[in-house]
């Protein structure tokens, strides 16, 4: 965070909380009341239309009806598939897949989940088709019935809320959920949602808006973007009033306190867009079970990085299919330089690591290191000794499937750091 960005970022977040504390009348005058979605309308299966010009193997290409944009009807492109053998007599669980910035609907992501026995839908949230523009093939091709372009909609904040990108993207995710629930081969009681980067950001909002989801998995994405994120310069450029309005309307921290479903938070120690301090404040907001999976320097992106972590598959399977869950941290603490965590796990914890950094400053720039921690299977307790000059640490428990469950990170006060 640069010196100029820090004051405006803090002011924007503080302004939002002041507006909320001042009462609904004052908030309405300032434009700080968050928008709402018509859940009754969005809870109905949208009309579907063929998409014959975009095909992919083993998946269905379709459009479904979105909300009006600037007074005109919209359509959302999506890929959908169910595993072989799924039927009204043999229903399967399902996933809504929310892509990240610069992305679109991804057929390979759908096939990943059908190969695991799930139905899945991946939709484009920027009014595009998963076809590269001609002739230079940069970016995805917009279609005539698309809604507002992404990402973030920072330049759209002066429009009516219903004409802004986040409003439509959230609505499109809820409509995709309703479309899945109406499919005869899908078990409507077993549907989860996961999203990557900006899709993780949207997953955080969706988790607080749509209580029908059984679980939510944000990958990288979180809230408190005005306090620390890759978009501090955007907020500074917008000016304090417009930035405060964006944060009051579209920051996930507004919606996460309403999330009721279990959540898995997947990220890396050095994520460039959503730093660990903002992530921690975000995952502490929902009043529901949470699991953390924080890997050292996890790459940021789709594909193997954001789509395929085994923790997501195991988490979905434990909730929707009765499979073994990820380890659960039951308590954690520190006595001087001795740190510990207790856990429950249906799968053996094969090893544990102390993950720590001797650096402070920008979260994205810190060097993280690991060293073995001690696992006492009898007491279900992990312990480690902090190296001298440790500034921040967490413990990672790794089960026999090589799946990670992390404790919360702790920043050591200066007075408690070993010289």
Tokens of 330: 């039951």
Nearest by Cα to 313 from 177, 109, 122: 109
Share of the chain above pLDDT 70, in %: 92
Share of the chain above pLDDT 90, in %: 86
Average pLDDT value for the chain = 92
Task: Give the Cα separation of 102 and 136 in Å (integer).
Answer: 16
pLDDT in tens, 258-292: 999 999 999 999 999 999 999 999 999 999 999 99
Instruction: Return the pLDDT at 10.
Output: 38
Cα distances (Å, whole numbers) of residue 295 to 168, 169, 225, 395, 396: 32, 28, 21, 10, 8
Side-chain-facing half-sphere of 406: CA atoms under 13 Å: 24
pLDDT in tens, 176-212: 999 999 999 999 999 999 999 999 999 999 999 999 9
Task: Tell me the domains of the chain and their CATH numbers.
Answer: 5-320 (3.40.50.1820), 328-416 (2.60.40.10)
Alpha-carbon dihedral 162, 165, 168, 170, rounded to 10 degrees: -120
Q: How confident is the model at residue 132 (pLDDT cuts 50, 70, 90)?
A: confident
Identify the bridge partners of residue 410 per DSSP, sorted by sequence position.
Answer: 393
pLDDT in tens, 301-317: 999 999 999 999 999 99
Nearest by Cα to 318 from 221, 401, 397, 215: 215
pLDDT in tens, 339-363: 999 999 999 999 999 999 999 999 9
The residue count of the chain comes to 419
Q: Quick one: CA dihedral 64, 148, 113, 216, positive or negative?
A: negative
Instruction: Return the pLDDT at 31.
Output: 54
Q: How does DSSP classify residue 182? A: H
Q: What is the 3-state secondary structure (H, E, C) of 89-136?
A: CCCEEEEEEECCCCCCCCHHHHHHHHCCCCEEEEECCCCEEEEECCCC
pLDDT in tens, 44-79: 999 999 998 888 999 999 999 999 999 999 999 999
Q: How does DSSP classify residue 167? A: H
Instruction: Return the pLDDT at 137.
Output: 75
- pLDDT score of 115 more than 90: yes
CB 358 within 8 A of CB 370: no
Residue 98, judged by CB atoms within 10 A of its CB (0-12, 13-18, 19+), counts as buried
Helix (H, G, I), strand (E, B) or coil at 193: strand
The DSSP line for 318-363 is HHHS-PPPPPEEEEEEEETTEEEEEEE-SS-EEEEEEEEES--S-G
Task: Give the Cα separation of 48 and 64 in Å (integer).
Answer: 4
Q: How confident is the model at residue 19 (pLDDT cuts 50, 70, 90)?
A: very low
- Comparing 8-12, 132-136, 150-154, 412-416, the range with the smallest average pLDDT is 8-12
């Amino acid at each position: 965070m640069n010196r100029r960005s820090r004051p405006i970022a803090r002011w924007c977040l503080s302004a939002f909380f002041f507006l909320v504390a001042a009462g609904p009348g004052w908030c309405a005058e300032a434009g700080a009341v968050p928008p709402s979605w018509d859940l009754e309308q969005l809870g109905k299966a949208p009309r579907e239309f063929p998409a014959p010009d975009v095909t992919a193997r083993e998946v269905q290409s379709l459009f479904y009806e979105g909300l009006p944009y600037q007074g005109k009807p919209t359509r959302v492109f999506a890929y959908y598939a169910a595993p072989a053998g799924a039927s009204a007599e043999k229903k399967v669980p399902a996933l809504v897949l929310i892509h990240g910035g610069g992305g679109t609907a991804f057929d390979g992501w759908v096939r990943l989940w059908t190969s695991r026995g799930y139905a899945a839908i991946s939709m484009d949230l920027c009014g595009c088709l998963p076809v590269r523009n001609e002739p230079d093939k940069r970016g995805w091709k917009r279609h005539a019935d698309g809604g507002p372009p992404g990402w973030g909609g920072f330049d759209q904040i002066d429009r009516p809320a219903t004409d802004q990108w986040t409003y439509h993207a959230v609505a499109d995710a809820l409509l995709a959920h309703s479309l899945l629930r109406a499919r005869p081969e899908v078990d409507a009681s077993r549907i989860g949602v996961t999203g990557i980067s900006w899709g993780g950001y949207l997953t955080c909002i969706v988790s607080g808006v749509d209580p029908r989801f059984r679980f939510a998995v944000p990958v990288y994405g979180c809230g408190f973007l005005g306090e620390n994120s890759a978009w501090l310069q955007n907020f500074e450029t917008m000016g304090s009033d417009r930035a405060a309005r964006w944060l009051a309307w579209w920051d996930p921290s507004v919606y996460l306190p309403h999330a009721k479903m279990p959540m898995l938070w997947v990220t890396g120690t050095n994520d460039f867009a959503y730093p660990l301090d903002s992530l921690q404040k975000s995952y502490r907001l929902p009043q529901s079970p949470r699991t953390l999976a924080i890997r050292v320097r996890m790459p940021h992106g789709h594909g193997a990085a954001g789509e395929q972590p085994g923790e997501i598959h195991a988490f979905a399977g434990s909730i929707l299919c009765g499979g073994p869950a990820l380890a659960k941290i039951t308590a954690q603490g520190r006595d001087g330089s001795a740190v510990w965590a207790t856990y429950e796990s249906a799968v053996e914890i094969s090893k544990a690591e102390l993950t720590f950094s001797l650096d402070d400053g920008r979260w994205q720039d810190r060097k993280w290191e690991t060293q073995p921690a001690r696992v006492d299977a009898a007491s279900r307790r992990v312990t480690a000794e902090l190296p001298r000059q440790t500034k921040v640490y967490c413990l990672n428990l790794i089960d026999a499937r090589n799946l990670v469950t992390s404790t919360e990170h702790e920043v050591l006060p200066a007075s408690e750091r070993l010289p």
